[in-house]
Structure 1
Amino acid sequence: MVLAIDIGNTNVVIGCFQEQQILFVERVSTNQNATPLELAISIKTILEIYEIRTDEIEGSIISSVVPTINNSMRKAIEKIARCPVMIVGPGIKTGLQIAIDNPAQLGSDRVADAVAALHEYKPPIVIIDMGTATTLSVIDAQRRHIGGIIAPGVGISMNALTEKTAQLPKISLEPPKKCIGSNTIECMKSGILYGAAGCIDGLLDRITAELGETPTFLATGGMSEYIIPHCRHEIILDNMLLLKGLQLIYQKNIGL
């Protein structure tokens, strides 16, 4: 079994796979001040919930956009599993052609998303990853990652709306009854949900026009399940995409 961990700005996604099967996926809050022991306790607890023994873990792979946590996470895994830990970055084989100005700037999460997308879908592909930020990654018909878009995430927008105003309350992400809200809560829900969905639709239209052909649209990330159903484009929702990518990258680097 292999432990796969994606360290994001808001959440750490922890999963485990055995050969081609993903056994579980769980999320915990990202804490940049967590010690290796605290991280180890979180991981070990999740493994125990799924009745997976630490001696069954033969390796681990980490994708991270929070470099300050990487060393603590590595130590945590080594503490409980005593297995090799691979971190996606320079020197790691991915098989992905990155055709942007500075390939080193492409986040490891977007690399893993792209690797999985190319394995399962025909390019051109647009990957919408809705986390702390909303990112769109574009893969052209020649299987090259040619760039993308970074926009504020849904959570950031919600927080800004409530923190920067005196009378607007915090809201949940339940869909409003209709687009034209008749009270403050419904108006806010409509603005957040339909505003984010409309933004995605508009960006996909512009990307499609620039590519000159209609790509496959994929969506992943913690916020995607709330927003994508309200989009007007046909978008495939795959919240396992990043872990699938980590699985493929791990296999490439151990020669499977």
Structure 2
Amino acid sequence: MVLAIDIGNTNVVIGCFQQERILFVERVSTNQNATPLELAIWIKTILEIYEIRTAEIEGSIISSVVPSLNHAMRKAVDKIAHCPVITVGPGVKTGLQIAIDNPAQLGSDRVADAVAALHEYRPPIVIIDMGTATTLSVIDANRRHIGGVIAPGVGISLNALTEKTAQLPKISLEPPKKCIGSNTVSCMKSGILYGAAGCIDGLLDRITEELGETPTYVATGGLSESIIPHCRHKIQLDNMLLLKGLQLIYQKNMGGEDA
């Protein structure tokens, strides 16, 4: 049984897989000041909820876009499981061809997404990951990660809207009944949800035009379920994509699969 952890700017995603089966996926808020003990308590509590004993954990894999938490998280895993830990980064086998100006700049979460997408879907592929930022990663027909787009995330846009205006309230991400709002809250919901969906549709149009062929569109990330249903393109939702990628990378590096 393998523990998989993705440290994001907003959430830490914690999951567990056994061979090909994903046992669970949970999210906790990212706290950059968390100590190894606090992180260990989070992990142990989640494992207990799913009735998984720490002795059953034979290995762990971590991806992170918050470098300040990496050491603390490794120590936390060691406290509860005493198992080998792989951190996705330079020197780790992924099998992914990265054809961008500086491959080291590609976030480990986007690497894991791409590895899983290539395993699950036919290229070319555009991966839409909706987290703190909304990222679009492009994999061409030759299975190479050739670049992408980074845009402000839905949460960032919504926070900026409410924090920088005196009279606009905080709102939830429930969809409005129609696009043309008749009150402040419905107007804001329409702007945020349909605005984000329209942004994704527009970017997909431009990316598809540049590629010269229609790719497979795959969406993942914490906010994808709220936004993607409002897009006009046919986009597959796969919120297990990151965990699947970490599972594949773990297998490549622990001898379960050739790189």
Q: TM-score, normalised by structure 1?
A: 1.00
State the match for 1:216 in structure 2.
Answer: 216
Instruction: In structure 2, give the amino acid aligned to 1:254.
Output: M
Q: Secondary structure at the match of 2:232?
A: coil
The one-character-per-residue Cα deviations of 1:108-163 (angstroms, maximum 9, x if unpaired) are: 00000000000011100000000000000000000000000000000000000000
State the match for 2:185 in structure 1.
Answer: 185
Alignment RMSD: 0.2
> What are the equivalent positions in structure 2 for 1:50-199 lying under 5 Å apart?
50-199=50-199
**1:181 Cα offset (Å):** 0.1
For residues 158 and 85 of structure 1, the distance between their equivalents in structure 2, rounded to whole angstroms, comes to 36
For residues 85 and 124 of structure 2, the distance between their equivalents in structure 1, rounded to whole angstroms, comes to 32
Instruction: In structure 2, give the amino acid aligned to 1:154.
Output: V
The one-character-per-residue Cα deviations of 1:178-237 (angstroms, maximum 9, x if unpaired) are: 000000000000000000000000000000000000000000000100000000000000
State the match for 1:243 in structure 2.
Answer: 243
The one-character-per-residue Cα deviations of 1:6-39 (angstroms, maximum 9, x if unpaired) are: 0000000000000000000000000000000000
State the match for 1:23 in structure 2.
Answer: 23
**1:73 Cα offset (Å):** 0.2
For residues 122 and 220 of structure 1, the distance between their equivalents in structure 2, rounded to whole angstroms, comes to 16
Total equivalences in the alignment:
256
Q: Secondary structure at the match of 1:63?
A: strand
For residues 28 and 254 of structure 1, the distance between their equivalents in structure 2, rounded to whole angstroms, comes to 27
Instruction: In structure 2, give the amino acid aligned to 1:116.
Output: A
For residues 41 and 6 of structure 1, the distance between their equivalents in structure 2, rounded to whole angstroms, comes to 17
Among the aligned pairs, what percent are the same residue?
88
The one-character-per-residue Cα deviations of 1:46-80 (angstroms, maximum 9, x if unpaired) are: 00000000000000000000000000000000000
| Structure 2 unaligned blocks of 5 or more | none
Q: Secondary structure at the match of 1:222?
A: coil
For residues 100 and 91 of structure 2, the distance between their equivalents in structure 1, rounded to whole angstroms, comes to 18
| Structure 1 runs, 4 residues or longer, greater than 6 Å off | none
**1:85 Cα offset (Å):** 0.7
For residues 12 and 155 of structure 2, the distance between their equivalents in structure 1, rounded to whole angstroms, comes to 16
Q: TM-score, normalised by structure 2?
A: 0.99
